[in-house]
Structure 1
Amino acid sequence: MTTAAADPSWWADWPKFAPGWLALLVTLGTLTRKTWTVRQNIALGPEASELRTQLVQFRALLEEVGTKHTDWFLHEDRREVARFLRDSADRRDDETLKLTVTRVADAWDEIFALAPAPRMRVRFLGGVEETRYRREDALRAAADLDQFHKMTAVAQTALIDVQIAIGRLNELERRTHGR
């Protein structure tokens, strides 16, 4: 038994086992790569281009927040943007992307909560009623201005989150597709 262990003939036999070991290494490497790619695809989620389009459109909406008046916020499609973003975030597996998209949707809800109520315009008033109405309107305009400043601050923070989400989406796509 000790003579078999000391026998140098195993050196002569190793070339016939080398292809099997190489095939095993290549198979393990391929399985590892495939598992990693599948994991990245799951983290990226379905419809990554749809999420990118939503984020770019949302960035344009956020840039308009400080310049628009209350009627702009009454449009039903603008109210639904946060719901669409939350739905897209739920389909992602990457925690960073999911967190930033959810924070962006929360910021949009906060902007809508801060939006001042639309004002009723009265055309024909006279005397004391007109003076009282104009005074109340001026007070509401000052309060609305404060609300618009708060909305602009929230929008600026949300723009940073949109940039983070787009950057993370780019990183995941580069890992998955090599772009």
Structure 2
Amino acid sequence: MAASCAEPWYADWPKLAGWAAFAVTLLTGGWRWWVRNRFKLALGPEAKELRDQLVEFRALLEEVTTTPRYTDWFVHEDRREVARALRDSAARRDDETLKLAMTRVADAWDEIFALAPAPRMRVRFLGGVEETRYRREDAERAAADLEKFQKMTEVAHTAQIDVEIAIDRLNALERHTHGR
């Protein structure tokens, strides 16, 4: 027994490979856990709800690009708080790309709403000079409204690109987190 205690520490060299494998396993497992946790934090809470928000917003942008919309359409309860909800969702995310795309989309929605012309009121009974003046002013407003609608459509198209970027980034984060 005394002889076995006197052996040098390097006499058990076959055990070193096992300990090295154990250390590598612990390090790679810890690394994978840290990376997955980081992606979970970047994804943030309520990923499904965020996806639903972005899909609904994409549908709203398609409506803006297909038909001219006046300010009264934007004031409806379903569309009134869309930009604020996107900004709130962006604040809960930790991924800079997703955050930037969502805030750009919310800013674009505010810009579209600011560009939207007010609905025109129709006057029923006019005659003579007043009717001619009213029709001339109405035609001028209609031409200005067309320019605003074109600008709204351009902003909506760029916002659609940002929505696609946000959805693609959300998909990438989910693939990293859940492996889908």
TM-score (norm 1): 0.90
CA distance in 2, matches of 1:132, 1:121: 13
Partner AA of 1:15 in structure 2: P
Q: Percent identity?
A: 72
SS of the aligned residue for 1:169 comes to: helix
Q: How far apart are 1:171 and its partner, in Å? A: 0.6
The reply to whether residue 123 of structure 1 matches residue 100 of structure 2 is no
Q: How does 1:44-55 map to 2 (within 5 A)?
A: 44-55=43-54
Q: Does 1:41 align with 2:16?
A: no
RMSD: 1.7
Residue aligning to 1:136: 137
Counterparts of 1:79-98 in structure 2 under 5 Å? Answer: 79-98=80-99
1:34-92: CA deviation from partner (whole Å, max 9, x where unpaired): 11111000011111111111111111110111303313223132121110100010011
The equivalent of 2:68 in structure 1 is 68
User: Within 2, Cα distance between the matches of 1:9 and 1:142?
Assistant: 92
Q: TM-score, normalised by structure 2?
A: 0.89
Give yes or no for contact 2:44–2:94 (8 Å, CA) kept in 1. yes
| Structure 2 letter corresponding to 1:168 | R
Query: Could you say what secondary structure the match of 1:151 adopts?
Result: helix
**Residue 9 of structure 1: CA displacement?**
8.2
Structure 2 counterpart of 1:177: 178
Determine if the alignment matches structure 1 residue 168 to structure 2 residue 169.
yes
Contact in 1 for aligned 2:51/2:167 (Cα 8 Å): yes
How many Å separate the matches in 2 of 1:64 and 1:31? 48
Unaligned runs of 5+ in 1: 1-6
Q: For residue 4 of structure 2, what is the aligned residue in structure 1? A: none
Distance 1:45 1:14, change over 3 A: same
1:145 aligns with 2:146: yes
- 1:100 paired residue number: 101
Is the contact between residue 116 and residue 149 of structure 2 (CA under 8 Å) also seen in structure 1?
yes
Q: Is the 8 A contact 2:42 2:93 kept in 1?
A: yes
Deviation at 1:22, TM superposition (A): 2.3
Aligned residues: 172
Paired residue for 1:4?
Answer: none
Partners of 2:158 and 2:109 in 1: CA distance = 11
Instruction: Tell me the distance in 1 between the aligned counterparts of 2:129 and 2:122.
Output: 17
- CA separation in 2, counterparts of 1:68 and 1:147? 9
